[in-house]
Structure 1
Amino acid sequence: MVDSETIDTKVSDKKEEFNDEQEEEINDNNEETKEKRKNLGDGVINDLYASIDEFKEYIKNMQKNADRKYSEYKKSTVQTIDIDLIETKDAYHIKAAVPGVSKEDVMIEAGDNDLTIEANFNAYIDEFEEEAEVIASSIKSGKCVKTVRFENSLDLENITAKFTNGIVIINIPKLIIPKHKINVE
Structure 2
Amino acid sequence: MSLVKFNNGAKNTGLMNDFNDVFGSIFTDALLPSHLITKIPAVNVSETNDQYHIEMAVPGLKKEDFKVNLEGDVLTISAEVKKEDKKEEKQYKKQEFSYSSFLRSFTLPDSVDHGSIDATYKDGVLVIEVAKKEEAKNLVRQIEIK
- Structure 2 letter corresponding to 1:99: P
1:71-150 to structure 2, matched below 5 A, reads 71-74=34-37, 79-122=39-82, 126-130=84-88, 142-150=100-108
Give me the whole-angstrom Cα distance separating, in 1, the residues matched to 2:45 and 2:29.
39
SS where residue 160 of structure 1 aligns?
strand
Kept in 2: contact 1:86–1:93 (CA 8 A): yes
Residue correspondences, number: 102
The Cα shift of 1:164 comes to 1.1
TM-score normalised by structure 2 residue count: 0.54
Give me the whole-angstrom Cα distance separating, in 2, the residues matched to 1:111 and 1:80.
21
| Seq. identity, % | 27
Number of the residue aligned with 1:174: 132
Give me the whole-angstrom Cα distance separating, in 1, the residues matched to 2:82 and 2:45.
25
Give me the whole-angstrom Cα distance separating, in 2, the residues matched to 1:110 and 1:166.
22
Kept in 2: contact 1:93–1:170 (CA 8 A): yes
Structure 1: gaps (5+ residues):
1-62, 134-140, 179-185
Kept in 2: contact 1:100–1:121 (CA 8 A): no
Number of the residue aligned with 1:19: none
After superposition, the Cα gap between the structure-2 partners of 1:163 and 1:94, relative to the gap in structure 1 and judged at 3 Å, is same
Kept in 1: contact 2:76–2:104 (CA 8 A): yes
TM-score normalised by structure 1 residue count: 0.44
Kept in 1: contact 2:85–2:95 (CA 8 A): no
Give me the whole-angstrom Cα distance separating, in 2, the residues matched to 1:154 and 1:111.
13
Kept in 2: contact 1:81–1:145 (CA 8 A): no
Kept in 2: contact 1:112–1:153 (CA 8 A): no
Number of the residue aligned with 1:152: 110
- Structure 2 letter corresponding to 1:73: L
Give me the whole-angstrom Cα distance separating, in 1, the residues matched to 2:75 and 2:82.
23
Q: Rg: which structure is higher?
A: 1
Give me the whole-angstrom Cα distance separating, in 2, the residues matched to 1:84 and 1:113.
19
- Structure 2 letter corresponding to 1:104: E
Number of the residue aligned with 2:122: 164
Q: Which has the higher helix share?
A: 1
The Cα shift of 1:128 comes to 4.8
Q: CA RMSD in A?
A: 3.3
